[in-house]
Amino acid sequence: MAAALIVGLVTVVASGATIHRTYRWCFQGRQFSLTHGFPSERYRYFQALPRIISHTQYSIYVTNPQDDGELASLIRELEEVAQTANLNVWEKLNLIVAFVQSIPYTPEEEEYARYPLET
């Protein structure tokens, strides 16, 4: 059975071995949307890792190579969105910045630092 949850501009649907996230964001007055699937097993792997307490060690969250394949796939999909929209290299960069900035932010007092795949 699939479960859907809408969090800000992100829709999350978990079904079986895949977690599908639909991202919606605005750039240059246009609406963009991207649905990407992440393996549930990889998501659970990162959820189970110990959390770094000291903010001086947060780089481990972005330098862990275990999610490089999944993140590369997401990047390819973002590049396809930019290509379909006929964006130049600077517009593509700003499209990706707008994508990242559209992800709802939760202050750390309420949550914990997350790995990119969890985010």
Residue 49 token pair: 């890792």
Please report, for the chain, the start and end positions of each structural domain, with discontinuous segments joined by +.
Answer: 3-102
**Type of residue at 60:** I
Mean pLDDT computed over 56-73: 90
Q: What is the predicted pLDDT for the residue at 114?
A: 83
Q: Is 38 within 8 Å of 70 (Cβ atoms)? A: yes
Give per-residue pLDDT as tens, 22-53. 899 999 999 999 999 888 898 889 989 988 87
Whole-angstrom distance, CA of residue 102 vs CA of residue 64: 24
